[in-house]
């Protein structure tokens, strides 16, 4: 099994031409239970005025999140109101 990294995830997104960005999360802690250990962030622009933001605790969660967005699969995520 190969290790996943952000470069591979970005190449996958580019291959499917989706409006998704991934990066390491470097800001302060998120005041929502379950997201205290978030290390990665995924931005998915749904429209010009709307985007979804996903906080992920591991690179594996990040790749699963991107995979779910690309293939329109059910997402195992907790909604957070901004």
pLDDT value at 9 more than 90: yes
Torsion angle (degrees, nearest 10) of CA 73, 67, 70, 26: 120
Model confidence, pTM: 0.84
What is the spatial distance between Cα 54 and Cα 78, in angstroms, rounded to a whole number?
9
What is the spatial distance between Cα 79 and Cα 52, in angstroms, rounded to a whole number?
9
pLDDT of residue 77: 78
Over residues 16-39, the pLDDT tens digits come to 998 999 999 888 777 666 667 788
């Amino acid at each position: 099994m190969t290790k996943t990294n952000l470069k591979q995830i970005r190449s996958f997104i580019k291959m499917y031409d989706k409006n998704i960005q991934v990066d390491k999360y470097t800001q302060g802690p998120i005041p929502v239970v379950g997201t205290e250990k978030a290390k990665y962030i995924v931005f998915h622009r749904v429209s010009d005025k709307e985007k979804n933001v996903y906080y992920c605790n591991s690179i594996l969660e990040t790749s699963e999140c991107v995979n779910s967005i690309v293939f329109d699969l059910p997402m195992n995520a907790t909604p957070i109101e901004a």
